[in-house]
Amino acid sequence: MRNHSPRPASARLARYGAGRAGGSVRVSARRKAGRGDEAADVGGREPGTLATAKKTGPSGRRPAAGSAAAGNASQDLAAPEAALGEAPGRDAPARGAPARGAPARGAAAREAAGSQVGADLTVAGWEYAPAPEARDVVRIQDEYGLFIGGEFVPAADGRQLTTINPATEEPLARVAEAGSADVDAAVAAARAAYERTWRDMPGAERAKYLFRIARIIQERSREFAVLESLDNGKPIRESRDVDVPLAAAHFFYYAGWADKLEYAGLGPAPRPLGVAGQVIPWNFPLLMAAWKLAPALAAGNTCVLKPAETTPLTALLLAEVCQQAGLPPGVVNVLTGDGTAGAALVAHPGVSKVAFTGSTEVGKQIARAVAGTPKKLTLELGGKAANIVFDDAPMDQAIEGIVNGIFFNQGHVCCAGSRLLVQESVADAVLDRLRRRLETLRLGDPLDKNTDIGAINSREQLAKIRDLTDAGEQEGGERWSPPCVLPDRGFWFAPTIFTGVSQSHRIAREEIFGPVLSVLTFRTPEEAVAKANNTPYGLSAGLWTDKGSRILWLAQRLRAGVIWANTFNKFDPASPFGGYRESGFGREGGRPGLAAYLDV
């Protein structure tokens, strides 16, 4: 099975000039033919990107900067001023500019480089050029209806809500707001399709529809990526390279299971449950829809999907894809609206299965509503994952894992590594490299391919992040962010690190769901386990060490549903995902993801 997980930050960010492991990118400098200035060899990459080159010593390993083996062979792009004898971090960048100043051009750059040019690797004069994705690849309608029974229809009471672009606060579209009458209509359409068509359809035939949906998602991937970034605020590279490919992969994967259910080890004749009510969050709208719909449809269920009120547009585009694929009417229904529509769907007597991804508080309300009913329930809730770095960890790789673990998708990830536990003996070195790495991240326009940090999804979420970070300072935490000028419009928050954090601080206990990292230290593996488990959540954890025995020892003791070793945020349709305690129960993905939608 091909790994559809997001590329490591070292691959994703270095490609777009955002730096490399530990903040050190080695850029080859050459003279342009017929010109006197230095230029970075972009090697055919997208506008505004830098080509990277490696320099290794006699052993085949890259020499450390400043070592005898390295000599003058390399300079750190995260601190280009150092190559010119300037103090780092003097000026804050403008919007879309690198977090550290670019070196001088022309004669000054040549003089600084001196004899290094051609003989080794130096920092070339460069600047980022805008690399925006075309917005007109997707047509956004002025108004959208509810998708019920294979057709787009207005809400029964005519109510609408407006969805906006969180990067600019620009209204994108007016969307129908479902009420109780609309929930009744959607569940009735799903029940009719289940009993008349979908339940008794051979698995091989159901698989054909899922394959069609997967292929159409791939064919319309640019539309989905642009629409996701506009409606959600995440960088286009993440929408394009992570969300959309993984969504298609889930439909492909479960299409393969549709005619093999009796061989899944779930009993000789597993049966579908009926109508599945599925409520998804705003952080990965398309991907979460695929996580829910694909296994449910493969198992023979019909679905009523309720996307988040701030990010409904890709779910509605997916409904259009269902039409395009010829899916029988009523098999998939999409209800847009606020939390009242979701609550009505969960409580509806015609729903046989409830699947929810979102906050722990709402998950508890759903669990109480479903208790005492025959409905099956799956909850994937919040988390406060520990990313544990030992003194023998591959340091550059660990830095990239830390960055990917918490700053991917602006920290809007339930399994984000929001607590960094570092062994005391290497804490200063890790923090120094981490700060330099963060200075290379670029915050700005989500549709620019150079952007690493996009917009916060909503004003309400931004207020929550600010409240918790203010509490962190009041409780004695030391706050640090790289120099960063935030755009005037939209919802933005700079990547932030807190040191001097104790386990009693709110920022170490509560899920922030933003680009905020709390740093704690430990001395022994036993202390690391105790601190990592000191949380009501149990969704994920990360380990960074060279010792395989230590990985296995820790994995047996950490109370988390998913544990990554020397990596972070890796996903695959064949791999089950989920947590326990206040992170929920049940699994999504893989064969266990099918079991949640079957009567076995």
Of 10, 2, 109, nearest to 397 by C-alpha is: 10
Cα 95 from Cα 549, distance rounded (Å): 46
pLDDT > 50? residue 4: no
pLDDT > 80? residue 535: yes
Per mean pLDDT, which range of 59-68, 119-128, 464-473 is the poorest?
59-68
The pLDDT of residue 125 is: 58
Q: 584-594 pLDDT, tens per residue?
A: 999 999 999 99
pLDDT > 70? residue 528: yes
Matching CATH number, 135-268+275-380+584-599, of 2.60.40.10, 3.30.1360.10, 3.50.50.60, 3.40.605.10: 3.40.605.10
Average pLDDT over residues 108-132: 51
Of residues 318 and 65, which shows the higher confidence score? Answer: 318
Q: Which range, 106-110, 132-136, 181-185, has the best average confidence (pLDDT)?
A: 181-185
Q: For the beta carbon of residue 314, count every other beta carbon within 10 angstroms.
A: 29
Residues of the chain within CATH 3.40.309.10 domain(s) are: 386-569
Cα 467 from Cα 217, distance rounded (Å): 38
Residues of the chain within CATH 3.40.605.10 domain(s) are: 135-268+275-380+584-599
Per mean pLDDT, which range of 64-73, 337-346, 500-509 is the poorest?
64-73
pLDDT > 50? residue 453: yes
Dihedral (CA of 250, 256, 260, 265) sign = negative
pLDDT > 80? residue 85: no
Pairing of strands 478-480, 584-585: unpaired
Pairing of strands 170-176, 143-144: parallel
pLDDT > 60? residue 18: no
Q: Using alpha carbons only, what angle is made at residue 244 by residues 382 and 292, rounded to the nearest 5 degrees?
A: 50
The pLDDT of residue 330 is: 97
Average pLDDT over residues 392-413: 95
Of residues 19 and 263, which shows the higher confidence score? Answer: 263
**Length of the chain in terms of residues written:** 600
Q: 256-314 pLDDT, tens per residue?
A: 999 999 998 888 889 999 999 999 999 999 999 999 999 999 999 999 999 999 999 99
Phi, psi of 51, rounded to the nearest 5 degrees: -80, 145
Residue 32: pLDDT band (50, 70, 90) is: very low
Residue 365: pLDDT band (50, 70, 90) is: very high
Spatial contact of 177 and 161, defined as CB atoms under 8 Å apart: yes
Cα 169 from Cα 228, distance rounded (Å): 15
Average pLDDT over residues 3-21: 38
pLDDT > 80? residue 111: no
The pLDDT of residue 265 is: 87
Cα 325 from Cα 342, distance rounded (Å): 27
Residue 14: pLDDT band (50, 70, 90) is: very low
* Topology, domain 386-569: Aldehyde Dehydrogenase; Chain A, domain 2 (3.40.309)
Average pLDDT, the chain: 83
pLDDT > 60? residue 429: yes
pLDDT > 80? residue 68: no
The pLDDT of residue 118 is: 35
Cα 439 from Cα 84, distance rounded (Å): 18
The pLDDT of residue 269 is: 86
| β strands within 18-64, DSSP E | 29-31, 38-40
Spatial contact of 382 and 539, defined as CB atoms under 8 Å apart: yes
The pLDDT of residue 600 is: 80
pLDDT > 90? residue 60: no
Of residues 383 and 56, which shows the higher confidence score? Answer: 383
pLDDT > 70? residue 211: yes
Active site positions, annotated: 380, 414
pLDDT > 80? residue 438: yes
Residue 78: pLDDT band (50, 70, 90) is: very low
Spatial contact of 241 and 248, defined as CB atoms under 8 Å apart: no
Spatial contact of 400 and 9, defined as CB atoms under 8 Å apart: yes
Average pLDDT over residues 22-46: 34
pLDDT > 80? residue 34: no
